[in-house]
Amino acid sequence: MISESILTAKTLRLRPADEGDLVHFQRWLADDELRRWLGSVNEQPSIAEEYDWYMSKRQDPDTILWSIEAADGSLLGNVELRLSPLNRRAEVGIGIFDRGQWGKGYGTEAMRLVLDFAFGELKLNRVELTTDEENTRAIHSYEKCGFVREGLLREHRLVDGRPSDCVAMAVLRSDWETR
């Protein structure tokens, strides 16, 4: 589903993703390095594929998707929660797609909003993610948000045909409440 909740911090806000965002996402996904860190997108999608991706997220009751935009309204990327309601957990996926905006703390700020929502509104126990072990900037950002390394998944991804290890990380409700 597309989240109807608008979450606001000082430097950015999370708002419902809409079809107008897709052309921007699609254009940014031409960036090899961005796609490498996202892990799930091996080639730049076509507009039609990006639209299919959006519709599948919209129709999935266990996915919540937001677009991330800066305080001035410019689009930065997106973030989603994939829920397992039975187990009171979610997997989070986040991307600051506009590489001109990397390293400014937007990802960390957006993640904190999502965690507040996940533990506060959704009452989850656990939010988890998997990321490329070499993605040190992202790992540092996740650690600032309270994520802890739980395991190393050997050769979890293929990057240009080369096996790449991934780190499994999670933040628990108890970590979040005592932060």
Binding site for another protein (CB under 8 A): 42, 84, 86-89, 125-126, 128, 148, 150-158, 163, 168, 170, 172
Q: How far is the CB of 34 from another protein (least distance, A)?
A: 16
Please state the closest distance from residue 147 (CB atom) to another protein, in A.
11
Nearer Cβ to another protein (70/153): 153
CB 34 within 8 A of CB 99: yes
Q: Which residues contact 41 (CB under 8 A, 6 or more apart)?
A: 29, 35
DSSP code of residue 91: E
Pick from 107, 76, 79, 102: nearest CA to 92? 79
Minimum gap (Å) between residue 112 Cβ and another protein = 20
Closer residue to another protein (CB): 53 or 102: 53
Structure tokens at 76: 């930065």
Nearer to another protein, 128 or 143 (CB): 128
